[in-house]
Structure 1
Amino acid sequence: MSFLINLLVFFLVLIFYLQLAEQHKKNNDLEVYQLDYIERKDVHDYCRLKLPIVINYNNVNPDFVSRINKTDVVRALKYMQIKNEHDFYKEVPDNSYVEMDTHNANILLETSSDEPYYTEHNDEAIQTSPLRKVFETNNFLLKPDMNIVSKYDILFGKDKSHTPFRYHTQHSQFICCHEGSVSIKMSSWENTDLLNPHHDYERYDFRSPIHIWNPQSEWAANVKQMETMDIVLEKGCMLYIPSFWWYSIEFQQGSLVSSSQYSSFMNCLYNLPSWGLHYIQKMNVEDQLLNLKNGLSTSPSKEELADTKEDIATKEISEPILVEDTTPLHEPEVANAKHDIEEKHTNNDEEEKEIKDTLNYLTTSIEENQDV
């Protein structure tokens, strides 16, 4: 009986290990599959190859392609996350996004200057909008068995704007082009050492500091050693991006794409350590912001500083003035009196200097707190 139990435990552990190993699997062949049609039973077989796949999605779910367009997106979403791609390549990179209401964001992306603005990370807005049901029409084909987490996104931007060169660790990700066309540059995992990856656990974003479309001079030698491939995704086509494949999207004028990410049960277990670091980092940032807010709320305001100055000035004016006795004095007494008066003037000068120093110190401290 114990032998059968041990055998059962062995097979369970073996299956568990094989499933986790599947999540870590990588394929470094620079190849792309192109399919005119695909059925559910074939999707996961192709995905297990860990190679990019371009699918003519007009032949699979044409309603999904047509129902997501810029007009409906602006009408359905309340807000969008806006980013300037130059922020990622500053001396001190900025990973923050600006949340704008959809109408103003669309005006910015259509009429702004040559700044490379684009929008992404709109999952929260989609989850509370009618677009969520549109994305869920793909579940019959794209959603893996035992799926735990689904994330949806809408991406578009200025002409020739780019997303960072990044990779994902989810079970699967699908990029679908709904309007115009986009260019996608991809590279396999074997080039990771050349890309100097940055792990941003605050946003759970794994990206390279290299601008892959226009490499900085200090990274030009690394890019020359890499092997990349370019994929042009036309309207109605969908691209499967395997985990641990590097990719960057170049937007064209009038282009719009959607992204669907899925995480199965085993994929969640595989990513559990990274997710733990992600939530710890988010908690640290929230604590820092809360401490900063509390510090600003308890610091004296400029009005309080002005009142302090006025009180000190009033106190200085209201000090009693000592009147010297005018009775004639003998020479020794005159000398002593002069000495006492000079000493009093010296003390008064020192007190005035101390008051001025105190006021200057208070003013500097308050202004620094207000600037923070």
Structure 2
Amino acid sequence: MKIIIGTFIFCLVLFIYLHIQFHLKTSNDLEMYEIDQPSKDKLEEICDLRQPVLFDFESEKIIETTNKTFISNNYPAFEVKIRNTKDDDPNNELYVPLPLHSAVKLFAEDKTSTYFSEHNSDFLEETGIIKNFKYNDEFLRPYMVSNCNYDILMSSNKVETPFKYELNYRNYLLLTQGSAQIKMAPPQSTKYLYPIYDYENFEFKSHVNPWSPQSKYAADFDKIKCLEFTLIPGKTLFIPAYWWYSIKLNNNTSISCFNYRTYMNNIAIIPYISLHALQIQNVKRNLAKKVSINELNNEIIYPNDNIEETVDTNTMIINENIISEILPGSLQTELDSDIN
């Protein structure tokens, strides 16, 4: 009996070990595969080579209902998340919610290529667009899938997204409108990119700009070889896990994103998931200004009603200052009028 139990445990451990190694495997060949109309099995086989793949995925329903023009015409009041590419302060909020009609105006008025929108899963849920993803992505879903995450990416003209990599087993980008340039680097480039592990937002990125490397990173970036190509409507790109990528979106462009994990993929990245959970529990944000005891002792004590009024006024000033730092003046005025 002990032999049977021991054999079973050995086989179980070996099974888990082999699958974890399979999901942690990477490829550093600087080449991309292109397939016209692959079958489901052929696509899975090629994606398991851990190389970028460009292929045709004709889903008119997804393209028609997730492009920028369609959602801005049909869901202008729903909020999307806006990100400032030039704000590297870790103490600031990474995303700011903004009504879609205001976001579209922000993108149109942004002349410095600063703002883009991502992580819009809440927007997809509230509008019901997520159903169009779930009902039409069977071809992309890997076998034994456990997590399906969808997103819509939009931006101002010529915005360059941060250089980052994903941990998901499958990552697909489907261009639904406009055009975009994509620059990719293999996993072995990590040692030259000064990676930043943001476990709070579960994002693994680099401050290095692959489109125009900063002078302090130029010497190391010269050691990196990148793939660069243009993504056109109707084409879908597969990005393997641990491959670095950055997207430069042109004017009036939108991309639908598909991210999938399997059960064994989740087991393989348990260390990352655990650190993400711990980081969320440890994050503490200060929404009010800190004042020392000495400053409080030097202040005049007001009646209770005046104290409440002062606190409310200060809170409004703080909130207005936060918004004014993130949004341009014209859009801030429009947002204030919407709130009033």
Query: 1:104–1:32: structure 2 CA closer, same or farther, 3 Å change rule?
Result: same
Q: Distance in 2 between matches of 1:14 and 1:307?
A: 71
AA aligned opposite 1:164: P
Is 1:165 matched with 2:159?
Answer: no
State the match for 2:309 in structure 1.
none
CA distance in structure 2 between the partners assigned to 1:149 and 1:115 by the alignment:
33
1:223-372 to 2 correspondences below 5 Å: 223-285=221-283, 287-289=284-286, 305-307=301-303
Quote the offset at 1:196 in angstroms: 0.6
Matched, 1:221 2:225: no
Aligned-pair distance for 1:145?
2.3
Work out the CA distance in 2 between the residues paired with 1:250 and 1:18: 37
Aligned to 2:56: 56
Q: Select 1:129's aligned residue among 127, 130, 149.
A: 127
Which is helix-richer, 1 or 2?
A: 1
Pair 1:12-2:12 in alignment: yes
Q: Deviations over 1:99-141 (max 9, x none)?
A: 1011111111112332421111112221232210111134321
Question: Is the contact made by 2:107 and 2:157 (CA closer than 8 Å) also made in structure 1?
Answer: no
Percent identity at matched positions?
Answer: 29
Say which of 175, 187, 190 aligns to 2:188: 190
CA distance in 1, matches of 2:243, 2:134: 25
Deviations 1:133-182 (Å, cap 9, x if unpaired)?
A: 11113432111222221111111111110110000111111000011110
Match of 1:116 in 2: 114
| Higher-Rg member (1/2) | 1
Q: Could you say what the CA RMSD is over the residues aligned between the two structures, in angstroms?
A: 2.9
| 2:75 matches 1:71 | no
Alpha-carbon offset, residue 95 of structure 1:
5.7
Q: Give 1:62's aligned amino acid.
A: E
Give yes or no for the alignment of 1:150 onto 2:148.
Answer: yes
- Residue 21 (structure 1) aligns with: 21
8 A contact 2:175–2:232 mirrored in 1: yes
Structure 2: unaligned runs, 5 residues or longer: 307-313, 320-340
Distance verdict in 2 for CA 1:157–1:25, change over 3 Å: same
Label 1:16 to 1:33 Cα distance change in 2 as closer, same or farther (>3 A): same
Question: Is the CA contact (8 Å cut-off) linking 1:164 and 1:208 kept in structure 2?
Answer: yes
- Cα offset, 1:293, TM superposition: 5.8
SS at match of 1:156: strand
**TM-score scaled by length of structure 2:** 0.81
Partner of 2:335: none
Q: 1:47 corresponds to which residue?
A: 47
Letter in 2 for 1:15: F
Counterpart secondary structure, 1:128:
helix
> Which digits, 9 at most, give the CA deviation of each residue in 1:230-282, with x for residues without a partner?
02110110000000000000001121111110111111112222112112222
